[in-house]
Amino acid sequence: MTGSIGIPQLILCAIVAVLFYRYVLSPSQTSGSPGLTSGRRPRAAVSPNDIESVRVMFPQISVAAIRWDLERNGSSVSATTEKILNDGFLPEPPASAVRQTPSPLPSSVNGQPRPLGGTGASQAPAPSPSSSAATTVGYSDLVTRYSLHSRLETYRPGTSMVQLSSSPKKNDKASLFIRGRERRDLMILEARKKMEAMLRR
């Protein structure tokens, strides 16, 4: 890390610390074997707040899946988050588990990853590759990092880009920063939309 620490780095450090702490406490959780954890902490009541905090980060994951996962790991938001980050998805609960409450745009997205990279996602994180891929934990995706979830639904490719370039170009530092940030967000949103389209194919 660097000597000058910005806010992202701080957040990052905090996440790493929390995850590491969790990891030390219950190493079996990350491997996703439900038997041990559920044995130790049988089905705790999952608070809606926990579900909401995961859903804010990963709106593409269905509430049911989040609830099921939280139930199994004892309402550990960070364990669930880590699992999603690692695998890219959460397994859907068995039909008997709970009533399903699907989220707005998810079902297609949620089902898709398996045909494309399903093998990679479930088998790839074998010990050596996952350790050689850059640190597997602690990095949040860009949409989460810059909290763009709210804009994700309203964003239409191309539209805001045009507005941006036609707006008068002032060159003082402040407006430069505003335009820079806007460009960053739009790039992320556009990449996200493209990836969604790619996965749908």
Partner 1 sequence: MEADFPDPTDWIQTPVPGLQALETSLRCQVCKELFTAPKVTSCGHTFCSLCIRRCLSASSKCPTCMKPDEEPRLRDNIVVSELVNSFNTIRKSLLDTLVAKEEARKQAEEEAQRDSRTRPKPEKRSSYDLDDDEIMEDAEPAHRPQVKKRRRQETITSRKPQEIEPPRRSTRTSSQRTNSRAGSSQVISIPDSDGDDDDFQPIEDLSEGEFRPSSRSKRKTTSRAPTTPTKKSDLVACPVCDRQKEQLAIQSHVNRCIEGNRSPSPSPGLANGTSSTGTPLKRQTASFSNISKSQHRAPYTAEERERLRLPKGNASLAKEADIRKKLRDHGIRYDVKGKETKQVLWTRLQEWTNLWNANLDSDNPKLKHVLIRELEAYERSQATQKHSVVQDKDFEREVWGSTHKPGFDALIATARNSRKKENGAETEATDQPLDSVAGAQAELTGIDSPEIVEA
Partner 2 sequence: MAAKAVRRLLSEYRELINNETEGIYAGPVSEDNFMLWECLIAGPPDTPFEGGMFSATLKFPDDYPLSPPELKFTCEILHPNVYPDGTVCISILHPPGDDPNMYESASERWSPIQSVEKVLLSVMSMLAEPNDESGANVDASKMFREDRAQYESIVRRCARKSVGL
Binding site for partner 1 (CB under 8 A): 1-4, 168-169, 171-173
Residue 113 binds what, of partner 1, partner 2, none (CB under 5 to 8 Å, by partner type)?
partner 2
| Shortest distance in whole angstroms from residue 183 CB to partner 1 | 14
Confirm if 44 and 75 have CB atoms less than 8 A apart.
yes
CA distance 74 to 201: 37
Q: 90: helix, coil or strand?
A: coil
Pick 75 or 144: Cβ nearer partner 2: 144
Confirm if 81 and 121 have CB atoms less than 8 A apart.
no
| Neighbouring residues of 130: CB distance < 8 A, sequence distance ≥ 6 | 86, 124, 136
Tokens of 106: 């998810």
Residues that bind partner 2 (CB under 8 A): 2, 4, 6-8, 12, 58, 60, 85, 88, 109, 113, 116-117, 119-121, 124, 128-129, 131-136, 139, 141-145, 169, 171, 173-174, 176-177, 179-181, 183-184, 187-188, 191-192, 194-196, 198-199
Residue 172 binds what, of partner 1, partner 2, none (CB under 5 to 8 Å, by partner type)?
partner 1
Work out the number of other CB atoms within 10 angstroms of the CB of residue 106: 16
Confirm if 90 and 61 have CB atoms less than 8 A apart.
yes
Pick 33 or 167: Cβ nearer partner 1: 167
| Shortest distance in whole angstroms from residue 62 CB to partner 2 | 14
Residue 136 binds what, of partner 2, partner 1, none (CB under 5 to 8 Å, by partner type)?
partner 2
